[in-house]
Structure 1
Amino acid sequence: MNRVLIVCTGNTCRSPMAEVMLKDLAARGGKPLEVRSAGVSAVNGQPISPHAAATLRKRSLELPGTSTALSGDEVAWAHLILTMTAGHKRAILQRYPEAVAKTFTMKEYALRGDPVMDDVAEAERLYSEWQVRQALGQNLTAEEHARLFELQRRIPDFDIADPFGGSLSMYERCADELEDILLTLVDKLDGKSTEQ
């Protein structure tokens, strides 16, 4: 059975909403998943935000438990770690570099197999090359710079905006965005362990 950990900042808004929504979608699709959520800056035991709770109730979904701080135990438990932003992904990989093969932003994982991911891989390769050359006192060629900027314009934003402190409608828009991503993502999860 796949064990999926969904991560945001405080584990009171985005990740608990995504946790509950993914559990529901997996159950309706007959996919055996275990889903948890945590926050890179969370304090254990905080309740879900009132607007997140209202958003989930409006969708007739059960409310999750209280917040969980990201820990090595949570990272080790998960076969797949999905983050709300690239910043969350970086924070996890700085603390737990061993999780690199199983950590993705939600949008990045949902787009696996999409041609845009070829652009992402090429951009990452060019960025890496640029960093190496800068360390050696060199630079990218004009053509490489132009290609990198072209790729930057084409690559979508992989972050899901934080509704924290916003209106109920902001939370509902966030939940709509999460649902769209999760509908794509759940089809990529077959219920078997994705552990490498």
Structure 2
Amino acid sequence: MKILFVCTGNTCRSPMAEGITRVLATECGLDVQVVSAGLFAAYGAKPTEEAVIAVQSITDISSHESRPLTMELVNTADLIIGMTADHKSVLLRQFPFEEAKIKTLAEWGYGTGDVSDPFGSSQEVYNECAEQIYNLVKAGLSSIKE
């Protein structure tokens, strides 16, 4: 299975989700490939220092480089996960033919609400965001094992 995480700039939420998912899927023995992209991302930006710190006890995302969402990424993904309902709406408008594989992280992870953008916030906010992503990804991966 190939999972594509999508956020806005691909420097905070989706790289954290990508890294966390890679580790948790390996721990669960799942054959999952993970990639992330941003709706308004440029190529090559590093993740924010706060995002790197927020997930450092789980994974190292410091070498991540941002990438914009492309048709190739959408076509090759089995599951496309936006961080917010707004991300999902944009994805559905741009790729209505992929509706069956587009979800929010909360929908996939049996939660509610959005994963709010921590960009420009304190380390504490990033840590809370990473914890939210971790819990939702863990729950979402459990559905793959079934």
Shorter chain as normaliser: what TM range? over 0.9
Q: Is 2:35 the counterpart of 1:36?
A: yes
Larger Rg: 1
Q: Which structure carries more helix by proportion?
A: 1
- Give the Cα–Cα distance (whole angstroms) in 2 for the partners of residues 60 and 36 of structure 1: 17
Aligned CA-pair RMSD: 1.4
- Give the Cα–Cα distance (whole angstroms) in 1 for the partners of residues 108 and 16 of structure 2: 18
- Give the Cα–Cα distance (whole angstroms) in 1 for the partners of residues 22 and 35 of structure 2: 9
Match of 2:91 in 1: 92
| 2:118 maps to which of 163, 170, 185 | 163
- Partner letter of residue 164 of structure 1? F
Runs of 4+ in 1 over 6 A off after TM superposition: none
1:32-52 deviation line (CA, Å, top 9, x unaligned): 100000011111111001100
Is the CA contact (8 Å cut-off) linking 2:12 and 2:51 kept in structure 1? yes
1:70-121 deviation line (CA, Å, top 9, x unaligned): 011110010000110010011111111111010000111222xxxxxxxxxx
Match of 1:186 in 2: 141
- Partner letter of residue 61 of structure 1? T
The 5-angstrom pairing of residues 107-126 of structure 1 reads 107-111=106-110
- Give the Cα–Cα distance (whole angstroms) in 1 for the partners of residues 131 and 143 of structure 2: 19
Match of 2:73 in 1: 74
Residue ranges of structure 2 left out of the alignment (5+ in a row):
none
How many positions carry a matched residue from both structures?
145
- Give the Cα–Cα distance (whole angstroms) in 2 for the partners of residues 157 and 181 of structure 1: 10
Match of 1:176 in 2: 131
Is the CA contact (8 Å cut-off) linking 2:108 and 2:136 kept in structure 1? no
Q: 1:110 to 1:56 in 2, by over 3 A?
A: closer
Identity rate, percent: 34
